Amino acid sequence: MSDSDDIVANVRRLSGVEAGTGPADIYIAAAVKGFEEVFNYWYIRVMRDVVKKYRGVLIPRINPFIRRLQYEGTDCPTFASKIVEEYSNRNFVTAGGWALERLARSVNPEVQKSAATGIDLQRSDPTTSEYHLYVLKSGLVTRNSDIVSALKRNSRFAEKLLRQSDPTAKVTMNWVIAAGKTTSTFEDGVRRPSSAEFWAEVMKLPENEAVELALAIAAEAGRLIRSDATEHIEALQTVVSAYVATSDHPMRVDWPFLKIRNFQPKATWSSEDKRRHAKALEAWMATGYGAAKEVAIESAADDLTPDVIQDVETADE
- Closest C-alpha to 229, from 79, 78, 42: 42
pLDDT over threshold 70, residue 127: yes
Which of these ranges, 113-127, 171-185, 203-217, has the smallest mean pLDDT?
A: 113-127
Structure-derived torsion over alpha carbons of residues 94, 95, 100, 102, reported in degrees to the nearest 10: 130
pLDDT tens digits, 89-124: 989 988 999 999 999 999 999 999 887 777 889 888
pLDDT at position 272 over 90: yes
- The pLDDT value recorded for residue 124 is 81
Decide: 235 and 283 in contact? Cβ < 8 Å: no
Count of beta carbons in the 10 Å neighbourhood of residue 63: 12
Q: What is the pLDDT of residues 247-258, one digit of tens each?
A: 999 999 999 999
Amino acid 214 reads: A
Q: What is the pTM of this model?
A: 0.79
| C-alpha to C-alpha distance for 100 and 95, rounded to whole angstroms | 9
Q: Which of these ranges, 87-91, 104-108, 183-187, 282-286, has the smallest mean pLDDT?
A: 282-286
Choose the weakest-confidence range: 3-12, 29-38, 140-149, 306-315. 306-315
